Copies of this chain bind each other. A is one copy, B any other.
Amino acid sequence: MEPRISMVTLGVDDLSRARAFYEALGWVVAPQSQESVVFLQGGNIVLGLYGRQALAEDAGIENTPPGFSGFALAINVASETEADRLFDTAVSNGAMARKPPQKAFWGGYSGYFADPDGHLWEVAHNPYFAMDADGNLKLVDEPA
């Protein structure tokens, strides 16, 4: 089994609001989307939007109130300028600024915003991480 992530599904409280937010950031709504679920194609992955309650039910777990969710999605970009621009685009489309992009202790440049449902996104420029021609991070040349 090749290790991969095929899709990240975010539980949301307002599907229309979430869809509009991600469309504003450039994600393309796939025709497989339905009334209760939205699939968005990124370059390398699918982002799913689904009702938070429905997601909890689908996984068979209780929809308890969220504390810190304990995860972050990241978009790595090629420059500090691009990180600033992406961060500003997100915030101007309804994201909450958590940490404006700034020099990071690890030698790169990083900021965080939360999407309209509170899901954390890091926007990062990491000069030590290689990208392939498609812009995907390639830390290992040929993964098993």
Q: A44 in the interface, Cβ–Cβ < 8 Å?
A: yes
> What's the minimum C-beta distance from A129 to chain B, rounded to whole angstroms?
7
Which among A3, A40, A89, A124 has the highest number of chain B CB atoms within 10 Å?
A: A3
Beta-carbon nearest neighbor of A47 in chain B: B5
Q: Are A70 and B68 in contact (CB under 8 A)?
A: no
Q: How many residues of A contact B (CB 8 A)?
A: 76
Q: A8-B5, A68-B64 are in contact. Are A59 and B120 (CB under 8 A)?
A: yes
Task: Name A's B-contacting residues (CB within 8 A).
Answer: 1-11, 22, 25-28, 30-32, 39-48, 52, 55-56, 58-77, 82, 85-86, 89, 98-99, 110, 112, 117-120, 122, 124, 128-129, 135-140, 143-144
Q: Which A-B residue pairs are the 3 nearest by beta carbons?
A: A64-B67, A30-B139, A6-B76
The 29 listed contacts between A and B (C-beta, < 8 Å) are A1-B89, A2-B43, A2-B135, A3-B41, A4-B136, A5-B74, A5-B75, A6-B74, A6-B124, A6-B137, A7-B76, A8-B74, A9-B73, A9-B122, A39-B139, A41-B137, A41-B139, A41-B140, A42-B143, A43-B143, A45-B136, A45-B137, A48-B74, A56-B68, A60-B99, A60-B112, A62-B68, A69-B70, A70-B119
